[in-house]
Amino acid sequence: MSSINDMHASDVINEGHLSRYEVESPVLRDDLVYLSTNLALVTQLNDFDADLFEAPSQLLNYIGQALLTECAVISARLWKDSSKGTLTLDRFASWVLDPGLRPEYRGQLKAMLSSASLTDETQKTIERLRSIRHARLAHINHRVIRGLSQAPEPVAIDEIQAVAGALASYFNALTFGDDHNLVVIPFGSSGDKWHEGDLGYVLDRIALDSTWLTLVDEFPQLWPDLRRGLGRGELSKINEVRVRYNKKPLS
């Protein structure tokens, strides 16, 4: 029997269930795309030193928080949900295994799903995200706001990234090993050369108006005094932008 990894959905899904598979799997994939793309954008925002480049830091922080809010909502609903009729990865997996999948392929898919199964730690992180969603995002828990009950434990970005990676691996198993690109192009492009429309490109345009890309070139005699106020990491960030736009690195 051929490996399920080498086959298309139409080869392994029962004919009477293929249309449902083709409707529901893209919905789950879209959520994973939003999740992964949001995290890629948040990472770029966090890597950008708004204070160094004299950027509107409050606005950038607000955008980052909005992106993370959507990440929390998506992560909380994708894996499991107690509401009836909701589409989640675990319910989709149960349906694909039986009755969606042809019986002769169930053993292979079970093995793939077992290998991609979420760890206890990852599931605990999702539960923390669900607590945040219930207490503050989807609802307003007055007991939490008034300090009558404990606020949900915060979740770090790297923990959300781990959840996103685990959910993507599980989804890849459900789509028979397809290697999905879950970050919207060009938002995941390399920092060596941004394309117009990338968040990195937008942030660079802000940096290009900063002291380090304008005043230093116009008045080089000011550089020794300005240099004394910079750390090594800050100088490296400045030079990354300068090199991208064919400006001589500062030393």
Q: How far apart are CA 176 and CA 180, in angstroms?
A: 11
Please say whether the beta carbons of 240 and 208 come within 8 A: no
Question: What's the confidence (pLDDT) of residue 199?
Answer: 87
- Smallest CA-to-CA distance from 189 within 34, 50, 43 is with 43
Question: What's the confidence (pLDDT) of residue 148?
Answer: 46
pTM: 0.85
Question: What's the confidence (pLDDT) of residue 146?
Answer: 53
Which residues fall within 8 angstroms of residue 201, CB to CB, at 6 or more apart? 194, 195
Question: What's the confidence (pLDDT) of residue 144?
Answer: 47
Question: What's the confidence (pLDDT) of residue 222?
Answer: 92
Which parts of the chain have pLDDT scores under 50?
144, 148
Question: What's the confidence (pLDDT) of residue 51?
Answer: 94
Question: What's the confidence (pLDDT) of residue 80?
Answer: 83
Question: What's the confidence (pLDDT) of residue 190?
Answer: 59
Which residues fall within 8 angstroms of residue 26, CB to CB, at 6 or more apart? none
Question: What's the confidence (pLDDT) of residue 192?
Answer: 64
